[in-house]
Amino acid sequence: MESKESKACTVAELVAGRWGDHRPGLWCEERTLTHHEVAAGAAARAALLAELLPPVGANIGVLLDNTPEYPLWLSAAALARTAVAGINPTRRGPELARDILHTECRLLITDRTYTPLLQGLELPGVRVLLTDSEEYEALLAPYAGARPDPSRADPRDRLLLYFTSGSTGAPKAALCSQGRLAAAGRSLAGQFGVRADDVHYVCMPMFHGNAVIADWAPALAAGAGVALRRRFSASGFLGDVRRYGAGCPGRRPAPRSPGRTGWPGPHT
């Protein structure tokens, strides 16, 4: 029998499909969220977006390291039918401002790590939300009971705006729809044999399209867990893979141990 995930045409459906799944689903440093908590957090952020953004035509920028807030906002954008522009933190000054304005971001999600990069930039019409602030927690609080509703999402909805390398000029934002991302996730999950009891270790920066398309989306499509590394560390890579029991580090499924059963969780 086909699962709901195998029939899902949008990322919003994949996100909502994890509602009620109380297995651990997202790890980052000392924090663990269940799949259900991720779906609930996405629903709360989607409800907030409905209040902060106009009904159509507005995008959000995400300027963050690989923290839980990144997949939460990707998921929220899918539910809210909003596109996410992954903002590259290696950009500076007018180039950084250009990326934010070029992608028509009305809301920029960031934290105190990156506020120094924004000082002095002219960003007319852009509201900045700091995910590590009391204001942010207060804005989300009224929506704590929200449930994910994927019914309005359409496969044609834009979801990702990810930048090209800019080798022949200023970086341009390539488009990826909900349908394309959901299809890519299902295809790669099938190709690599990703299962619900696997853990994807995502150490590539999530502002990069490959991290979302080839790492996050297959895990979401398969109902697998995701382990995040705030920033890549060559010396910490193997330790993280062992800690999280990752079977798909950086898009390459690792061989399973003989007799391994059940879903893996963080361990030392």
Rg of the chain on CA atoms, in Å: 18
Question: Phi, psi (5° rounding) for residue 39?
Answer: -65, -40
* Amino acid residing at 231: R
| pTM for the whole structure | 0.88
| N- to C-terminal Cα separation, the chain | 37
Q: What is the pLDDT of residues 37-82, one digit of tens each?
A: 999 999 999 999 999 998 777 899 999 999 999 999 999 999 999 9
Per-residue model confidence (pLDDT) at position 218 = 96
The set of residues, in sequence order, having a beta carbon less than 8 Å from that of 37 and lying 6+ positions away, is 25, 26
- Position 21 pLDDT exceeds 50: yes
Q: How confident is the model at residue 260 (pLDDT cuts 50, 70, 90)?
A: very low
Of 19-28, 29-38, 226-235, give the lowest mean pLDDT range.
226-235
- Reference 75, options 144, 19, 22; nearest CA is 19
pLDDT(83) > 60? yes
pLDDT band at 262 (very low <50, low <70, confident <90, very high): very low
Contact 226, 27 (CB under 8 A): yes
Alpha helices (runs of H) in the chain, residue ranges in sequence order: 4-7, 11-16, 35-52, 69-80, 93-102, 115-118, 134-140, 178-192, 209-210, 217-222, 237-244
* For range 130-154, the mean pLDDT: 97
Q: Contact at 8 Å (CB) between 263 and 196?
A: yes
Q: How far is CA 151 from CA 11, 138, 175, in A?
A: 11, 27, 22
- What CA–CA distance (Å, rounded) separates 222 from 233? 27
- H runs (alpha helix) in 193-225: 209-210, 217-222
Measured between alpha carbons, how far is 154 from 167 in angstroms, rounded to an integer? 33
- Answer yes or no: are the C-beta atoms of 38 and 69 closer than 8 Å: no
pLDDT in tens, 86-97: 999 999 999 999
- pLDDT exceeds 70 at position 1: no
